[in-house]
Amino acid sequence: MDENGDSGTDSCPDEAWAFDVFSKQCPSRGTLEHVTGRWGSLTLSALHEGSLRFNALRRRVDGVSEKMLSQTLHALERDGLVHREAQPTNPPRVDYELTPLGRQVAERLLALIELVEGRMDEVLAARGRYDEVHAARGTP
């Protein structure tokens, strides 16, 4: 197995410790990265609409490779956000769905995503302004 994740290195220094994302070396940062990561966020969002099978998920999350989807799902399953339900039929069928905790996370994530999507016009406008100002290098 690959398991190139952060497993192993992510333990708090010692003693009781607030799980503060701001401090390097604390596990909440790792989990946050799984959740907010490029594929993690999209996977959780897709799953919020209902349980999906591997390839359906792959189609829904445009651009993800088999490898990354598999890796992402393992990380999310390990963190207890996604539940994997395999049926030993032939051909095999595996469904992925959010756990209760995963659903809560996905809701917050969706709130964020919807905000960003809904304000993209502002973002694009800001970019236009920024680029115009900073393009003043070489065009006097």
Partner DNA sequence: CTGTATCCTGCCGGATACTG
Partner DNA sequence: CAGTATCCGGCAGGATACAG
Element (H, E) at 85: strand 82-87
Residue 92 contact partner, candidates DNA, its own copies, none, CB within 5 to 8 A by sort of partner: DNA
- Describe the strand order of the beta sheet including 82-87 as a list of residue ranges: 52-53, 93-98, 82-87
Which amino acid would we find at residue 94? Answer: V
Q: How many residues bind its own copies (CB under 8 A)?
A: 52
Element (H, E) at 114: helix 100-118
Choose, by CB under 8 A, the member of 13, 62, 67, 132 that binds its own copies.
Answer: 62
Contact 35, 41 (CB under 8 A): yes
| Residue (15 or 67) nearer to DNA, CB | 67
| Residue (68 or 110) nearer to DNA, CB | 68
Backbone angles phi, psi at 117, to 5 degrees: -60, -45
Q: Which residue has the tokens 């993800």?
A: 64
d(CA 49, CA 112): 16
Residue 109 contact partner, candidates its own copies, DNA, none, CB within 5 to 8 A by sort of partner: its own copies
Site for its own copies in 11-30 (CB under 8 A): 18-24, 27-28
Taking CB under 8 A as the binding criterion, the range among 50-58, 65-73, 87-95, 109-117 that sits at the site for its own copies is: 109-117
Q: Contact residues for its own copies (CB under 8 A)?
A: 7, 18-24, 27-28, 31-33, 35-38, 41-42, 45-46, 60-63, 77-81, 101, 104-105, 108-109, 111-113, 115-117, 119-120, 122-127, 129-131
